[in-house]
Structure 1
Amino acid sequence: MLNIQPSETQSGTFTVSWTPADDPDGHLFQALTDGHLEGALEALADPVRFGDTAATDAQALARLRSVQWMLERLERRRGALLVALRDRRDADPAAGASWADLAKALYPEDPDPQRLRSKVQTLHAAGLRKAGRPAQ
């Protein structure tokens, strides 16, 4: 399982480790070797205000590419997780997650995540399409 350990001796330092079994499709390895993990973390840490960033244009463009690369893969992962959790629920009503559970997981700050059920169902349908399965 992916392991992330903050340094006990050096602030702002952490170690990430995984085995090939943790990353069977190689997304973590590719993110690391292609610089997308670093670029996405830099973008996350950059206190960008709309219209202002401390990064140069080249740095900002590289960060934008990395964020886009990560977003595309994370959106696929989100869809796959939604489908997996609903498939479990369909097979066994005591397993998986209800639409309300999924809404709470995706939008924990929303005071009434149940109202977001249709939004979660739309994301689920997109996950089905990306998996090549017909929407239910």
Structure 2
Amino acid sequence: MPVYVTSAGQRSATIAWEPQDDPHGWLSRAVESDQLSYALEALGDGETEHDTSRQADAALQAAHHTMTIARLLEARVAAQVVRLRDAHGLSWRRIAETLHGDPDKQSSVRRQYEAGLRQLGR
């Protein structure tokens, strides 16, 4: 894995990558724009889901950043599905089982595959 996330102690981590590991600059933008921070905050949000101390505009910004990175990750999964099918020759059933926990969700995987093809310009 070309991107390294290293535990730097309890509740702390370091992320490192080389420029060739981020040719489109998505990692850099996710870090510099706070998208990653907001997404990780959302992942850890348990007891505070009803916390109203954050102003509406700040809450909207947090949701926007989280949605932006979620969409990007969804697009990356679609590209990975293309690679799994075309380069590795995996069956729809096996991909569905791994990604969705249900081998019968092959139509979902096919939709991801088609989205991946469009994203890759094929």
TM over 0.5: yes
Q: Secondary structure at the match of 2:15?
A: strand
Which protein is bigger by CA-based radius of gyration? 1
Pairs within 5 Å for 1:1-136: 1-7=2-8, 10-47=9-46, 49=49, 52-54=50-52, 56=54, 57-88=56-87, 95-108=88-101, 113-133=102-122
Which structure 2 segments of 5+ residues have no match?
none
Q: Secondary structure at the match of 1:97?
A: coil
Distance 1:72 1:98 in 2: 25
Q: TM-score normalised to the size of structure 1?
A: 0.78
Q: Which has the higher helix share?
A: 2
Distance 2:53 2:109 in 1: 35
Q: TM-score normalised to the size of structure 2?
A: 0.86
Q: Secondary structure at the match of 2:27?
A: helix
Deviations 1:12-55 (A, max 9, x none): 01111111011111100001111111111111112254xx2455
Q: What is the RMSD computed on CA atoms of the aligned residues?
A: 1.7
- Contact 1:46 / 1:54 at 8 angstroms: preserved in 2? no
Query: Could you tell me the percent identity over the aligned residues?
Result: 33
Question: Which one scores higher on RCO, CA 8 angstroms, separation ≥ 6?
Answer: 2
Runs (4+) of structure 1 moved beyond 2 Å? 52-55, 129-133
